[in-house]
Amino acid sequence: MTMNEYFERLTNYLLEKNPSLAYAQARTWVELLWEDFETTYARAGYEYRGKELTEKVVRQWIDRYGATLHEFQTTNPKYQHLLNRNDYLKH
């Protein structure tokens, strides 16, 4: 399975949990959560256990936090333009 397929599946899952997000916002969240988990896992010194584990963890985070992700506001300029936009078209 390609990365795009993982991201697409998780993006659609997040959109089911949170209809307040536009597709582009949901996709951004999925990619950020994916990257955050893999980076943190690697920094902690754990051996890479594959995309399936990362997908499982991101899915758990979506289950727990997905419904309220649209309420998140960031001041980090790296992500601010991606997450704090009110002009995204809804899916």
Task: Count CB atoms within 10 A of the CB of residue 77.
Answer: 7
Contact 69, 18 (CB under 8 A): yes
pLDDT tens digits for 48-73? 899 999 999 999 999 999 988 777 65
State the amino acid at position 45 in one-letter form: G
Alpha-carbon span 73 to 75, nearest angstrom? 7
- The pTM for the full model equals 0.80
Q: What is the pLDDT along the chain (91 residues), one digit of tens a residue?
A: 999 999 999 999 999 999 988 898 899 999 999 999 999 999 999 888 999 999 999 999 999 999 887 776 566 666 666 665 555 555 4
Domain edges within the chain: 11-84
Q: Three-state secondary structure along the chain?
A: CCHHHHHHHHHHHHHHHCCCCEHHHHHHHHHHHHHHHHHHHHHCCCCCCCHHHHHHHHHHHHHHHHHHHHHCCCCCHHHHHHHCCCCCCEC
State the amino acid at position 58 in one-letter form: V
The reported pLDDT for the residue numbered 68 is 86
